[in-house]
Structure 1
Amino acid sequence: MKYKRYCKTLKLEDNPELIEQYKKVHEPGAVWPEIIQGMRKIGIVDMEIYIADNRLFMIMDTIPGFDHDAAMKELAEKPRQIEWEAYVSQFQQTSDTATADEKWQLMERIYKLGN
Structure 2
Amino acid sequence: MKTYCLALDLKDDPALIAEYIWYHQPAVIWPEVVDNIKGQGILSEEIFLLGTRLVMVLRTTDNFSLEEKAAIDRVNAKMQAWEELMWKYQQPLSQAKPGEKWILMEKIFEV
**Structure-2-length-normalised TM-score:** 0.87
Q: 1:84 aligns with which of 63, 82, 96?
A: 82
Q: Where in structure 1 do 4 or more consecutive aligned residues deviate above 4 Å?
A: none
Structure 1 regions of 5+ residues with no counterpart? 95-100
Instruction: Give the whole-Å Cα distance in 1 for the aligned partners of 2:21 and 2:14.
Output: 11
Q: Answer 1 or 2: which has greater helix percent.
A: 1
CA distance in 1, matches of 2:62, 2:78: 26
User: What aligned pairs does 1:25-44 form with structure 2 within 5 A after superposition?
Assistant: 25-44=23-42
User: C-alpha displacement at 1:79, in angstroms?
Assistant: 4.0
SS of the residue corresponding to residue 88 of structure 2 reads helix
Question: Matched residues in 1 for 2:25 and 2:69: separation?
Answer: 25
Report the identity percentage.
Answer: 33
Structure-1 separation of matches of 2:71 and 2:3: 18
Residues of 1 paired with 2:82 and 2:51: CA distance?
23
TM-score, normalised via structure 1 length: 0.85
Checking the alignment, whether the CA contact within 8 Å between 2:73 and 2:80 is kept in structure 1 is no
3-state DSSP class of the match of 2:27?
coil
In structure 1, the residue matched to 2:62 is 64
Q: Does structure 1 conserve the Cα–Cα contact (< 8 Å) formed by 2:41 and 2:60?
A: yes
- CA distance in 2 between counterparts of 1:41 and 1:84 reads 16
1:36 Cα deviation from its structure 2 partner: 0.9
TM-align CA RMSD: 1.4
Report the Cα distance in structure 1 between the residues aligned to 2:66 and 2:106, rounded to whole angstroms.
14
* Structure-to-structure mapping, 1:73-112, within 5 angstroms: 73-94=71-92, 102-112=100-110
- Structure scoring higher RCO (CA < 8 A, sep ≥ 6) equals 2
2:96 maps to what in 1? none
